[in-house]
Structure 1
Amino acid sequence: MTAITQNLPWFIKDLGVSIVGQDCYTSIVENLDFTDHECLKYSLSKGLGLGIVVGGSIMKVPQLLLVVSARSARGLSLTAYVLETLAYAITTAYAYRNSFPFSTYGENLFLTIQNVVISALIVHYNPPNVLSNRSALQRAILSTQIAIAFAIPLVVFPMSTIALFQIATLPLSLFSKLPQIRQNYRAQSTGQLSAFAVISQVGGCLARLFTTAQEVGDPIVAAGFALALVLNVVLGFQMWLYWGKDEKDELEMGPIGISEKARTHWTPPPQKVEVVVPPASPGGRASPRPSTRRWSRKVD
């Protein structure tokens, strides 16, 4: 078997070396030494990291398509998406400025871009009250200006300030999920929230805890992923709890908005019958009722 693995095409070897390094590629791939636990864990971490980056590049696409196809952002919290986008952007800037491997943070870059698009769609389809009187173009321009205003500090601020921002992602992660959780609870429905996105985020957070411990070892980043995991699990539980509720309500509603069950036990209210009494004659006596009997003169 090693005769095959040691003679793989050059492009496969170069790709493997670029991912796990020359030492681990030689040990795991070429020599098939699966007792090298350090290289095994490192290779697994790299594989998971690349998988998360690829998955992150399409994670929010189903959510985006769901909003566009329904032409509605019902059930999605704009506050939650804005805070979540800010947390993703800060994590991306912090990892990039620290020269972390792209496989440890790449999905945050793609999620930031996708969240910006989804936030813009929420503003377009369900604008907040302060923007409801503005045109779609004005809302788009204002949203772009706000995104740029948040992005500039992440590029120009010193690293010490970015580190403080990274610490701030912990409460940001908390407050980015709470509005969505609260909205789901109040509506007893998850609306247009995508189950694929929620489940993917749960799996991504689990994998990121492992890759962060193996390749980065930054406790601030690990704490952020741990908190995000807990909150995403709560969202997943809500999706299970409220699954199909909207469809059930629509099926139960009749043509006038009364459920079938309610109509079965509904009793019509008693109808009022008005009795019209003819007015009395001027003499105080009631007018004689006209006789319905027909009289005819007898002819002898």
Structure 2
Amino acid sequence: MADDPVMEKYSPFMDNFKGLLLAYFMPESCYDEFFLKFNFLDVPCLKIVLSKALGIGIILGSVLVKLPQILKLMGAKSAEGLSFNSVLLELLAITGTMAYSIANKFPFSAWGEALFLMLQTVAIGFLIQHYGGKTGRGLLFLVVYLVLLALLLSPVTPLSVVTYMQASNMPAIIIGRLIQAATNFRNGHTGQLSAVSVFLLFAGSLARIFTSLQETGDSLMALTYVISSTCNGIITLQVLYYWNSSPERKKKKKKRE
């Protein structure tokens, strides 16, 4: 029987398509379930695909998630309303998650956003110092952090230390978010805090609860994201509550008084 010329034409495309799916979205058993048996309602495989798709979506979104915050700071040339201590604690949590995931060889789709969030959070930390008139301290912060990060990711750091860091994420996240929430409450506005970044962080942390359970099975990772979602939810509610408040309006109100 002669080969079907139509099938021969599309064979390279199908091979590439299959390779893409197997590399990023599903194991071969799920590919067979979906595309050979046409069983599109296989629950275990649907969970795997959903988790992989969410993970990749979160990573892609994380590339830009804090960019609105960075642009807002640079546009206003002010870091009013942002707590540097809160940023430090958030950076501790992000770094702990990244180091813990790398040490345990978790798939990149389960933690990749931590890399991009780390880079953007470091930039925000420097800008807070810079616009606060402490550029030298900001540069020192960059150097010290990069040295500590290199040490943490090196083989000389025991796994027990990395695990302890991941466990300490929960109090770090809680304290860091509460510091920012207290700053917002004290100011009566959210200052230069970007609503877009806050909403994206909240949505991403919620989705990560499912993906961390599905892809790593690590209860410590999942619990970290539960805590993170709760704390990010508090800041999100504050952004909504103070939506019509701003530093400029507060200043005008004080002048009238």
Do Structure 1 and Structure 2 share a fold, with TM-score over 0.5? Answer: yes
The AA in structure 2 aligned to 1:76 is: L
Please point out which of 132, 136, 139 is paired with 2:137.
139
Aligned residue for 2:246, secondary structure, equals: helix
Asked if structure 2 preserves the Cα contact closer than 8 Å seen for 1:73 and 1:122, the reply is: yes
Please point out which of 50, 53, 57 is paired with 2:56.
50
Query: How much has 1:139 moved relative to structure 2?
Result: 3.0
Asked if structure 1 preserves the Cα contact closer than 8 Å seen for 2:191 and 2:247, the reply is: no
Aligned residue for 1:257, secondary structure, equals: helix
1:75 is aligned to 2:81: yes
For residues 16 and 185 of structure 1, do their structure 2 counterparts lie closer, same or farther at Cα, with a shift above 3 Å needed?
A: same
Aligned residue runs from structure 1 range 40-119, under 5 A: 40-119=46-125
Which structure has the greater CA radius of gyration? 1
More helix by share: 2
For residues 181 and 247 of structure 1, do their structure 2 counterparts lie closer, same or farther at Cα, with a shift above 3 Å needed?
A: closer
The AA in structure 1 aligned to 2:142 is: T
Q: How far apart in 2 are the matches of 1:35 and 1:257?
A: 64
Q: How far apart in 2 are the matches of 1:173 and 1:153?
A: 22
Aligned residue runs from structure 1 range 280-295, under 5 A: none
Query: Once the two structures are aligned, what percentage of the paired residues are identical?
Result: 35
Aligned residue for 2:30, secondary structure, equals: helix
Of stretches 71-80 and 138-147 in structure 1, the one that deviates more from structure 2 is 138-147
TM-score of the aligned structures, taking structure 1 as reference length:
0.76
CA-based RMSD = 2.1
Q: Which residue does 1:173 correspond to in 2?
A: 173
1:218 is aligned to 2:218: yes
Asked if structure 2 preserves the Cα contact closer than 8 Å seen for 1:120 and 1:140, the reply is: yes
Asked if structure 1 preserves the Cα contact closer than 8 Å seen for 2:82 and 2:193, the reply is: yes
1:9 is aligned to 2:8: no
For residues 248 and 140 of structure 1, do their structure 2 counterparts lie closer, same or farther at Cα, with a shift above 3 Å needed?
A: closer
Q: How far apart in 2 are the matches of 1:73 and 1:32?
A: 54
Q: Which residue does 1:201 correspond to in 2?
A: 201
Q: How far apart in 2 are the matches of 1:26 and 1:124?
A: 55
TM-score of the aligned structures, taking structure 2 as reference length:
0.89
Q: Which residue does 1:36 correspond to in 2?
A: 42
Aligned residue runs from structure 1 range 235-254, under 5 A: 235-246=235-246, 249=249, 253=252
Q: How far apart in 2 are the matches of 1:141 and 1:205?
A: 30
Q: How far apart in 1 are the matches of 2:23 and 2:172?
A: 35
The AA in structure 2 aligned to 1:150 is: L
Q: How far apart in 2 are the matches of 1:40 and 1:73?
A: 44
Aligned residue for 1:9, secondary structure, equals: helix
How many pairs align?
A: 245
Q: How far apart in 2 are the matches of 1:196 and 1:105?
A: 21
**Relative contact order: is structure 1 or structure 2 higher (C-alpha 8 Å, sep ≥ 6)?**
2
Q: How far apart in 1 are the matches of 2:82 and 2:240?
A: 17
Q: How far apart in 1 are the matches of 2:248 and 2:127?
A: 27
Could you tell me which runs of 5 or more consecutive residues in structure 2 were left unpaired when the two chains were aligned: 1-6
Q: How far apart in 1 are the matches of 2:247 and 2:66?
A: 23
Q: How far apart in 2 are the matches of 1:238 and 1:25?
A: 44
Query: How much has 1:26 moved relative to structure 2?
Result: 2.4
For residues 196 and 32 of structure 1, do their structure 2 counterparts lie closer, same or farther at Cα, with a shift above 3 Å needed?
A: farther
Asked if structure 1 preserves the Cα contact closer than 8 Å seen for 2:126 and 2:139, the reply is: no
Q: How far apart in 2 are the matches of 1:33 and 1:151?
A: 46
Asked if structure 1 preserves the Cα contact closer than 8 Å seen for 2:125 and 2:138, the reply is: no
Of stretches 24-33 and 177-186 in structure 1, the one that deviates more from structure 2 is 24-33
Q: How far apart in 2 are the matches of 1:180 and 1:10?
A: 50
